[in-house]
Structure 1
Amino acid sequence: MRYVLLIHSDPDSWVHPMFLPSGTDVDLCDARAAAFAKLLREITESGELIAASALADPITSTTVRRSGGALLATDGPVVPARSHLAGFLVVDVDSPQRAVEVAARLPAAGDGRVEIRPVMGLSGMEM
C-alpha cells in the first residue's frame, strides 16, 4: 500500500526541512544527513521509495481559493504557524507498521513531526 509521509518542521528555523533545526551544530547536521542518506538508499534499493521532495520556504507559497465565484490568490502562507509542511516521501510498503518504521527514521521525527497518510486511488473506494 502507498503512504505519503508528510514532514512538518519549525518555519522559524527553516533552512532545510530535515537537517538544520534551530541551534544547529555541524556534527548534528552531518549525523542527520548521513541517517537520511542511509534511509533513502535502503528504501530506494528495496523499491519502497516512490517519490521524495523537500518544499521551498513557506514564504514562497501562494494560496489559491474561490470566494463567491472570484479567484483569490494570496502570496505567502495563509497564517503564521508553529510548523509547516517541509517535504514529503511517497512509499509503497507492505503494511502500516512498515510506514511507521520508515517515518520514525526520518530526522524530522525527532524535533518536528511526520504525518503518515494512506494514498487513495482516484475513486477513493479502497478506504
Structure 2
Amino acid sequence: MKYVILIHSNPQPWGHPTQLLTDEGRALGQEYHDSSDRDFDALMEELSANGEFVFAEALADPASSTLYAWNPDGHVATDGPYAETKEQLAGFFVVECATRARAEEIAAHFAQPGGTVELRPAMWGDGDDS
C-alpha cells in the first residue's frame, strides 16, 4: 500500500532543509545536523534499494501559492498560504510498504526539530481510507 509522509514546518526564512531554518534546529549544533544528514542519506539508500521509495518533493514558500475556491458565480483565486497557522506543508514523500507498521517506522525518521510529520494512506485505486 502507498503512504504519503507529509512534512509540516515553519522555517524562517522559508527554505530546505527546513530543520536548519527553524528556531529549534538552529539551537542544535552542526554535529547533530551532520549526523542527521548521514542518517537521512542512509534511509534514502535503504528505501530505494528495497523498492519502498516512490517519489518526493520539497515545496516552495507557501506565500507563493495561489488558492482556488468554488462559489456559485465561478472559481475565485486568492494568494496563499491556505492555513492560518505557523506550520505549513514543506514537502512530502510517497512510500510503498507491505504494512502500516513499516510505514510508521519510516515516517518516524522524518520527524525533525521544529516540524511535525503526518502519515496518511494514499487513496489510489481501491485503497481503504482508514
Instruction: Assess same fold via TM > 0.5.
Output: yes
1:59 aligns with 2:67: no
What residue is the counterpart of 1:87 in the other structure? Answer: 91
What residue is the counterpart of 1:105 in the other structure? Answer: 109
Q: Normalised by the size of structure 1, how large is the TM-score?
A: 0.83
What residue is the counterpart of 1:76 in the other structure? Answer: 80
Q: Normalised by the size of structure 2, how large is the TM-score?
A: 0.82
RMSD: 2.1
Give deviations 1:24-76, integer Å, cap 9, x for gaps: 25333323322222211110111000011111111111111111232111122
Aligned length: 125
Instruction: Flag structure 2 segments of 5+ consecutive residues without an equivalent.
Output: none
What residue is the counterpart of 2:120 in the other structure? Answer: 117
- Equivalent runs, 1:6-45 vs 2, <5 Å: 6-12=6-12, 14-20=14-20, 21-22=22-23, 24=26, 25-45=29-49
**1:107–1:12 distance in 2 versus 1, CA, 3 Å:** same
Q: What is the Cα deviation at residue 79 of structure 1? A: 4.2
Contact 1:64–1:74 (CA under 8 A) maintained in structure 2: yes
